Amino acid sequence: MEAIHRASLRILSEIGLEVLGDRALDAVRGAGATVDRSSRNVRLDPAQVEALVATAPSVFDLYARNPERDITFGGTNLVFGAVGGPAFVSDLDRGRRAGNFADFADYVRLIGALDIIHQEGGGPLEPTDLPVATRHLDMYRTFAVELDKTWQCLGFGATPVRDALDVVCLIRGVDRDALLREPSLMTVINTNSPLRLDGPMGDGLIEMAIHGQPVVATPFTLAGAMSPVSLAGALAQQNAEALFLVALAQIVRPGAPMVYGAFTSNVDMRTGSPAFGTPEAVKGALASGQLARRYGLPWRSSNTTASNVVDAQAAYESEMAVWGAVMGGVNLLYQGAGWLEGGLTASFEKLIVDAEILQMISEVLQPIPVDEASLGFDAIADVGPGGHFFGTAHTLERYETAFYRPLVSDWRNFETWQADGSRTATERANTIWKRLLAEAVPPPLDPPALEALDALVARRKREIAAGA
């Protein structure tokens, strides 16, 4: 751990990052970094990096429209986030298609309906049928109307961040000052690995930090492609890039809440294709959790798979990723539900299968109650050798809540399962999301708030159309 730490500080001080945005460049220069304006190379002194990273909080809260949906990052808290960012969407009935607003709205409603998902992930799929310049407004309106849990905004540039701040202030009924005390918005900021921070991402990070809203600092270090083929090297580079983003946010606002994002996985060296849920990704996750804790930062990992279909591979790769994250002490499991095909597709059926996986993991993390009653000595004595416990008082008192009740899993015997159509988990998931979608009722929004929201969206669309 210390060797990776030292290597990453050496990367920051001797190689440096290329920072494409002027605001970010000005910020780090103002803080005393070594900046080469022509190459836009930025080098940071190790002691300064450590001092800056130390000002980020270890634990912070994120406030939702519904106070019962507030979440805490850091410590032993575990937040499950939904998939964010895919360009495509798929389900068993309609196959794979380009992301569109109708599917976007359905998917967000399902995210709202699934209690195990604690946070929306910044758009579960890209509504490519909407104009690029104003798309984020339609997305935010959907989040504000459909969800009472926290959601993520888009981080590429100051504009989508500012618009999100307006929406979230309106919907929570607070001003920007209150937002500083009660962070309510989150986004993921990626480096363009290796060692580059582009302009929009730098601007988004700065805008979030100015307003004290938490950022998930996430390098995209695919070992063998965007980082060294050796896991230690990929982790050193990931760590350097993540610390750079944390340091930048602290320069903008000391104490700005940050999450250490880790996304180290590997590529298939035969084809260059990214691979997910691999042993290397699991080991990278376990190491990343240690690194984040070394810096006292909440840690983000992901539930990922490279599978093109919701099959056994999708499930075993996702499980690998989830267990690696959870055993590593993850605080935010981003991309927690719905991700398919290396993140290119949001799958309706995968959303349900992942919800089951997250529910199971959540249940695994509950302690085993052990006391006289639960030890059940009297029940064991009463039943005696060769009996069964189905009808005992000890069972009858507890059976309704004794065990996890699954969402998708079919535990019926082969004959019953066969008579009912021999359906796979993915086929059952298809039935489940359609039923959930039909039954879902978004949390009611006061008519005046909805009116104000619509007015805000309309005004911003006009302003953007006018080039404002």
Of residues 393-432, those binding a copy of itself (CB under 8 A): 394-395, 398-400, 402-404, 406, 408-414, 417-418, 422, 424-426, 429
Question: Does the N-terminal peptide bond of residue 194 adopt cis geometry, omega within 30 degrees of 0?
Answer: yes
Which residue, 97 or 162, is less far from a copy of itself as judged by CB?
A: 97
Shortest Cβ 202–a copy of itself spacing (Å)? 13
Q: In a 10 Å sphere around its CB, with 0-12 CB exposed, 13-18 middle and 19+ buried, how is residue 216 labelled?
A: buried
**Rule CB under 8 A: is residue 54 a binding residue for a copy of itself?**
no
Radius of gyration of the chain measured on its C-alpha atoms = 24
Name the residue among 293, 262, 252, 251 with its Cα closest to residue 49.
251
313 contacts: CB under 8 Å, gap ≥ 6:
305, 306, 307
Which residue, 97 or 253, is less far from a copy of itself as judged by CB?
A: 97
Binders in 437-466 for a copy of itself, by CB under 8 A: none
Cα 74 from chain centroid? 14
Shortest Cβ 294–a copy of itself spacing (Å)? 14
Binding segment (CB under 8 A) for a copy of itself, from list 70-78, 166-174, 200-208, 349-357 = 349-357
Q: Residue 227 has what DSSP assignment?
A: B
d(CA 82, CA 462): 31
Shortest Cβ 165–a copy of itself spacing (Å)? 30
- Partnered with residue 60 across adjacent β-strands are 73
Which residue, 48 or 192, is less far from a copy of itself as judged by CB?
A: 192
Instruction: Indicate the residue type of 294.
Output: R
Member of 48, 308, 440, 449 binding a copy of itself (CB under 8 A)? 308
Which residue, 209 or 282, is less far from a copy of itself as judged by CB?
A: 282
Shortest Cβ 50–a copy of itself spacing (Å)? 19
Question: Alpha carbon of 20 to those of 37, 157, 222, 362: distances in Å?
Answer: 10, 12, 21, 41
Which residue, 213 or 288, is less far from a copy of itself as judged by CB?
A: 288
The tokens for 146 are: 């459909």
Instruction: Indicate the residue type of 24.
Output: A
Q: In a 10 Å sphere around its CB, with 0-12 CB exposed, 13-18 middle and 19+ buried, how is residue 466 labelled?
A: exposed
Member of 38, 68, 93, 388 binding a copy of itself (CB under 8 A)? 388
SS (H, E, C) 229-253: CCHHHHHHHHHHHHHHHHHHHHHHC
User: Residue count at the site for a copy of itself (CB under 8 A)?
Assistant: 116
**Rule CB under 8 A: is residue 67 a binding residue for a copy of itself?**
no
Which residue, 370 or 468, is less far from a copy of itself as judged by CB?
A: 370
Question: Alpha carbon of 287 to those of 38, 49, 111, 185, 336: distances in Å?
Answer: 36, 20, 30, 28, 19
**Rule CB under 8 A: is residue 96 a binding residue for a copy of itself?**
yes
Element at 255 (helix H, strand E): none
Q: Residue holding tokens 């959930």?
A: 436
Shortest Cβ 462–a copy of itself spacing (Å)? 37
Shortest Cβ 300–a copy of itself spacing (Å)? 20
Shortest Cβ 412–a copy of itself spacing (Å)? 6
Which residue, 22 or 316, is less far from a copy of itself as judged by CB?
A: 316
Which residue, 259 or 355, is less far from a copy of itself as judged by CB?
A: 355
**Rule CB under 8 A: is residue 314 a binding residue for a copy of itself?**
yes
Binding segment (CB under 8 A) for a copy of itself, from list 57-65, 106-114, 128-136, 310-318 = 310-318
Shortest Cβ 398–a copy of itself spacing (Å)? 5
- Compute how many other C-beta atoms are within 10 angstroms of the C-beta atom of residue 94: 10
Inter-residue contact 324 to 299 (CB < 8 Å): no
Inter-residue contact 40 to 18 (CB < 8 Å): yes
Binders in 316-345 for a copy of itself, by CB under 8 A: 316-320, 323-324, 327, 341-342, 344-345
Which residue, 17 or 215, is less far from a copy of itself as judged by CB?
A: 17
Binders in 151-170 for a copy of itself, by CB under 8 A: none
Inter-residue contact 111 to 436 (CB < 8 Å): no
d(CA 57, CA 72): 12
Binding mask 186-225 for a copy of itself (x = CB under 8 A): ------x-xxx--------------------------xxx
d(CA 112, CA 91): 18
456 contacts: CB under 8 Å, gap ≥ 6:
166, 167, 170
Binding segment (CB under 8 A) for a copy of itself, from list 107-115, 129-137, 204-212, 382-390 = 382-390
Q: Residue 186 has what DSSP assignment?
A: B
Binding segment (CB under 8 A) for a copy of itself, from list 56-64, 131-139, 355-363, 446-454 = 355-363
Member of 375, 455, 458, 465 binding a copy of itself (CB under 8 A)? 375
Which residue, 19 or 165, is less far from a copy of itself as judged by CB?
A: 19
